[in-house]
Amino acid sequence: MQVIEDPERIEITVGDLRIRVGRYPFRLLVTVGGRVVLRTSERLRQVAGLPTAPSLICTESTQTMSFELEVDEDITGFGEQFGRLIKNGQLLDLRVEDALGTGTGLTYKPVPVWHSSRGYLGFLNTGARVSCDVGHSMPSVLSLTNDDPAIDLYLVLGATIAERLAGYTALTGRGPCPPVWSFGAW
């Protein structure tokens, strides 16, 4: 492992993995073997040159991080959801609610965990409400707004969803296998 730290950035390299964190303005770039896996949205600009979606917006009570979505990138996950499997183009409000059916947009088991077809799993470690704009407002931006004064973001890399889930459950813990009878008719 190699770590480079200076007033402008922190860069960590482990084998083919490289993580670059820009300090001001905040930027994040994750590459594996030179291929971009994840990057914040600072490159996306309006006609006047202003950022389309700043990488990080902080207030006293919320934090918003925005990441670039590639044209061919699919995002799945976010716990119990009753819409399409691929979440691109959707606004999701991750908070525990009595769903009162499957057509309300509410869920009882939302989880701020998502998978990207670019080879990573993202996990926002919070019990607070999270609003997710998965390319809805801007097709090239994934924005996460956390109603928490801090961001605790984990990234798990892996070639397959199974590998990423194994890394995620190694981090968060694995539950025991339910008894056989629980898989029967309700």
Q: How many H helices and E strands in the chain?
A: 1, 14
Section 137-155 average pLDDT: 93
pLDDT of residue 104: 73
Q: How far, in Å, CA of 5 to CA of 81, rounded?
A: 41
pLDDT digits (tens, 9 = 90+) for 3-15: 999 999 999 999 9
- Tokens representing 139 are 């097709």
Q: Which residues make beta-bridge pairs with 2?
A: 13
Q: What percentage of the chain has pLDDT greater than the value 70?
A: 99
Which range (32-41, 89-98, 161-170) has the least confidence?
89-98
pLDDT of residue 124: 95
Q: How far, in Å, CA of 149 to CA of 138, rounded?
A: 25
pLDDT of residue 186: 66
pLDDT of residue 185: 79
pLDDT digits (tens, 9 = 90+) for 88-141: 999 999 988 777 777 777 777 889 999 999 999 999 999 999 999 999 999 999
Distances (CA, A) of 175 to 121, 133, 142, 170, 178: 19, 30, 30, 11, 9
Q: How far, in Å, CA of 133 to CA of 45, rounded?
A: 18
CATH for 40-170? 2.60.40.1760
Model-level pTM?
Answer: 0.88
Residue bearing the bigger pLDDT, 74 or 24: 74
Other C-beta atoms lying within 10 Å of the C-beta of residue 150: 11
pLDDT of residue 43: 80
Is the pLDDT confidence value at 45 over 90? no
Is the pLDDT confidence value at 16 over 90? yes
Q: How far, in Å, CA of 12 to CA of 166, rounded?
A: 23
Residue type, 121: L
Q: How confident is the model at residue 64 (pLDDT cuts 50, 70, 90)?
A: very high
Q: What percentage of the chain has pLDDT greater than the value 90?
A: 68
Which range (8-12, 50-54, 160-164) has the least confidence?
50-54
